[in-house]
Structure 1
Amino acid sequence: MPATIDHLVTSGTFSLDGGTWDVDNNVWIVGDDTEAVVIDAAHDAGAIEAALHGRRLRAIVCTHAHDDHVGAAPALAEATGAPVLLHPDDLPLWKRTHPERAPDGELADGQVLTVAGTALTVLHTPGHAPGAVCLYAPELGTVFTGDTLFQGGPGATGRSFSDFPTIIDSIRERLLTLPPETVVRTGHGDATTIGREAPGLQEWIDRGH
């Protein structure tokens, strides 16, 4: 039986380039009754640990290193013993939030993480951040996109470390190639599907090239 997906929303702030904004973040927990991984430890380590219900946490996977996505990662790691995994291209962003504590391991394009017998394939999707990744779980019919793709379009690229043509390339090459029925579970807001977003994304692609 494949893993199940639990969803938690945590609230806090996002700060970059001298500005601070209130945000609600999606935290995704993938696992079974005994083990799980957390995708994006946002804001509240205690709430995320409580949502594990005593399951062994295998890893804390960071889709990117903006402070609203990794702020609670060290505390959750300390509480559970789980390693924090991040793509190395996002280390400069990580160090802005956690200068004294490095991630425990690296994520790489094509890497497969397995939890509860279910494979999560790492897709490097730079643009919103240099080390942004998505996690594709074909058995679950879903992709966890962090802030690369939302309902209604690509993630923001108007701040430091981001680039619009790069995120458009990532979406076109790594996400629009997935089956159209694939559910897109995002870093903020409501879920969508690849098929639902594809027509509008073509407009973004045309705009970016």
Structure 2
Amino acid sequence: MTVGARIERLVTSGTFSLDGGTWDVDNNVWIIGDDREVIVVDAAHDADAIAEAVGGRALRAIVCTHAHNDHIDAAPELAERLGAPVLLHPDDLPLWKQTHPDRAPDAELADGQILAVAGVELTVLHTPGHAPGAVCLYAPKLTALFSGDTLFAGGPGATGRSYSHFPTIIESIRERLLTLPGGTVVHTGHGDPTTIGAEAPHLREWIARGH
């Protein structure tokens, strides 16, 4: 019997490398769909584990919230194994090529684009700052936002490395995310989920500090 669309979380472990440094990280891989079809958000580190979690369901797309290596390193292998396209905002192609110089994404993500799976629509929100092509996915039917590394419990994602910009991430959060309903659950790229309502007071402090 097919049940309704749901959100599944898989945590994978590996490394993040940029600007000559490498760090151990745990990443959230989000699987959205039902018993028939799913979308994977951020194919991180372990194609075997992600493929096992997808199981026999049809994988409609692998969506990259941004192109830091720890969010995309398993994407090409997963795409080849399960026959799914890899989707990335074009502004993050320079970062993508650092990890996968010989394999381009299959299609571009655009602000306002709608991705559909299992009767649920996910709207692409371009939220640059952590990376130029960073996006979030908003699924109102699931009361959910998939924020990648744009928003975490406690504040914005990091902006201390190449291709990132603090005022830009603050603007993205203020204009694109704080406008969402307060009860929206934020499913982050690392760590535990939070809500828009829980983060709004912290974010206003960040906004004041950044201007």
TM-score range (shorter-chain normalised) is over 0.9
Partner residue, 1:120: 122
Work out the CA distance in 2 between the residues paired with 1:187 and 1:104: 22
Partner residue, 1:15: 17
State the 4+ residue runs in structure 1 displaced beyond 2 angstroms: none
Work out the CA distance in 2 between the residues paired with 1:153 and 1:54: 37
1:149-205 deviations in Å (ceiling 9; x for gaps): 000000000000000000000000000000000000000000000000000100000
Work out the CA distance in 2 between the residues paired with 1:48 and 1:56: 13
What is the aligned length?
209
Which residue among 33, 44, 68 is the counterpart of 1:66?
68
1:53: Cα distance to partner? 1.6
Work out the CA distance in 2 between the residues paired with 1:75 and 1:53: 15
Work out the CA distance in 2 between the residues paired with 1:187 and 1:2: 24
Which residue among 142, 146, 155 is the counterpart of 2:148?
146
1:3: Cα distance to partner? 1.2
1:29-86 deviations in Å (ceiling 9; x for gaps): 0001010000000000010000012100000000000000000000000000100000
Task: Give the AA of the match of 2:67.
Answer: A
Matched, 1:129 2:131: yes
1:2: Cα distance to partner? 4.5
Are the equivalent residues in 2 in contact too, given 1:181–1:194 (CA < 8 A)? Answer: yes
Task: Give the AA of the match of 2:88.
Answer: L
Are the equivalent residues in 2 in contact too, given 1:29–1:37 (CA < 8 A)? Answer: yes
Work out the CA distance in 1 between the residues paired with 2:154 and 2:61: 30
Identity %: 78
Q: What SS is found at the alignment partner of 1:198?
A: helix
Structure 1 unaligned spans of 5+: none
The TM-score, its normalising length taken from structure 2, stands at: 0.98
Are the equivalent residues in 2 in contact too, given 1:165–1:208 (CA < 8 A)? Answer: yes
Q: What SS is found at the alignment partner of 1:189?
A: coil
Are the equivalent residues in 2 in contact too, given 1:2–1:139 (CA < 8 A)? Answer: no
Partner residue, 1:101: 103
Are the equivalent residues in 2 in contact too, given 1:10–1:44 (CA < 8 A)? Answer: yes
Which residue among 74, 90, 93 is the counterpart of 1:91?
93
Structure 2 unaligned spans of 5+: none
Aligned residues: CA RMSD: 0.6
1:115-160 deviations in Å (ceiling 9; x for gaps): 0010000000000000000000000001000000000000000000
Q: 1:73 to 1:83 in 2, by over 3 A?
A: same
Q: Counterparts in 2 of 1:32-71, with a 5 A limit?
A: 32-71=34-73
Are the equivalent residues in 2 in contact too, given 1:60–1:77 (CA < 8 A)? Answer: yes
Work out the CA distance in 2 between the residues paired with 1:2 and 1:161: 39
